Chain A
């Protein structure tokens, strides 16, 4: 299996611009998670989906952030407008409610820098 795929791997943008991060989970996994990691706050869960439905978005920092999962193999995290404090590494992870029992597998991450 190819693992969790994220794109782009690096993104540099200017404040006020829209940023879209993409994720393809492991095939067959029914859970998808978006995390943000910074030195100050560590790894924080932003939102997670089960069977393409958002279950918990309590970690989404504000209305500038939105996430969608139109089908089982694709999800996006959008920031509009972006701000310098959004600079972080954004990870996507997926898991299965089946045999792997909650074990989450992480993608390589997208390193976002907002100038």
Chain B
């Protein structure tokens, strides 16, 4: 079992809809989680991080963390074609500053 798992997609949503991206993790000791966006041919860029159970909102993005279920999600409201990218979920596992990434979910926002 991988430490951080994501559905590879592609996830297709129409423009203006809510995109829901999901991630599960196996290390119960993981405390911090990050969502990165990666456009094709580019480097990952941080969208949000979340440390506490519950929701964290930043503009059109909401990150959700449920430590009991070992589940992290990212909601993108009012999806735009420019949101089309691969979204990488990552968690701090094994202590320290070591990030473990999921394989990413490809999101396609269609006109």
Contact = CB atoms under 8 A, between A and B. Distances in A.
Tell which of B99, B103, B104 has the most Cβ of chain A within 10 Å. Answer: B99
Interface stretch (A11-19, A64-72, A75-83, A104-112): A104-112
Contacts of B92: 102
Contact of B46 (A91, A97, A105): A105
B102 A56 contact: no
A10 to B, nearest CB: 11
Nearest to B36: A106
Nearest to A59: B98
B43 A42 contact: no
B89 to A, nearest CB: 11
A69 B70 CA distance: 35
A95 B92 CA distance: 13
Interface in A80-115: 91, 95, 97, 101-109
